[in-house]
Structure 1
């Protein structure tokens, strides 16, 4: 979004249009199709302004893909609703829960977050009568939905429940993911001690299962905590650990993220950022 603001202020219409396309692709990957269509439409308008026919064709194709996807979602939504009707008078709660779960996923893709939350919540409410795996999937989806809406307290409650619902196997990657999400939530609300606790638990699991990329990802967040606390030397060291892992994996994108954070920490150190009051 910073890139978009820069192109907007500079009047570079071509660059802005291409950035809008990239941002739209990101929204598609997140199943946020309404927001993606808005970005593609804005890109189309820019391409029209500069007479770029190739750019217009790209934007139109992406808009058409979204319309086709929406049509498929409408058909699938109807199918899932019909499936629910067939189970309305029986006790097959697993089939009902799967239908609610899929309906929720469809509503997320349609950016109908209120309806999506309603479907995921149904699964959670009837968790005693369904497979644990279905409940976990619903909690994951509900947690993500609440997170992207900035509803941090509700998201924390959901992920905490998920942590309790998961298997006792402490090395399970899914458990590390949940701990990471809880760390993100506490970092967002400046609850640094809790955030660090969750991130460290996530790192322990990532190391146990030898997931180096996952470990580096969490190290970046730990560095962010120390950066926000003005513990700049510690932040730089933590980012350095992440950088070393990314370099060993030949992960250029991850390496660039770590280097950018290291540079920021060094700039803050050079600028003499004061330590926070205790």
Structure 2
């Protein structure tokens, strides 16, 4: 491998981008002048703020996903499941099965917007209904507000995993009332959504009000509890996902803390994500 190829490879592996002209010339000059070895350059690349930020960002995503997997695997067995916005991009199994839901079921019905109606971040070809060893996964392409034609008391579990924040507040009120209608007497709602007091710390660093451009509203724990009560739902289990007490105390988003404390926690108001199991009153 030539020095030029080594430098190009280093930019690709450590910074995930092509080398800029000045940076490539500088590093190549160090090698040719004998002022640095290839090992020295590796240490240099992995000591840059750009590399460190990239690595931490990757760890944050891994921790966030890992916490949601833990939550998904803790959900109760159910035979008929309605998953609101439960597409997994590129995976016909859907998000619930893809994140490790462990139980067999009769059917998971996934309500998802048609691709042309989605935000550009999520505009991928439609998924296909599939028969898995666990059970049937069926897609219905429509807004998750449009549930009126589904029969009363027809689902043992209804899931909204990082989707409730994607609809406007009045639509959210309507959805929760429909959830109450659609649940069987012993059925449960499983809902997780960003915790605004913590997620806002990250959004503020990006100069935004919310962490995702498609989010219509992010909620506090108190707001979610009020919504549940007004919809005739009773919370039977609640957890925070991703414990961030130092970020809350110092009023700043600390990436390393997000990585340090993945998983489920009882101190819900100091966590990045709110997670609830609720039943009909």
Fold shared by both chains (TM-score > 0.5): no
- Structure having the higher strand fraction is 2
- TM-score with structure 2 setting the length: 0.29
- Structure having the higher helix fraction is 1
- TM-score with structure 1 setting the length: 0.29
Q: Relative contact order: is structure 1 or structure 2 higher (C-alpha 8 Å, sep ≥ 6)?
A: 2
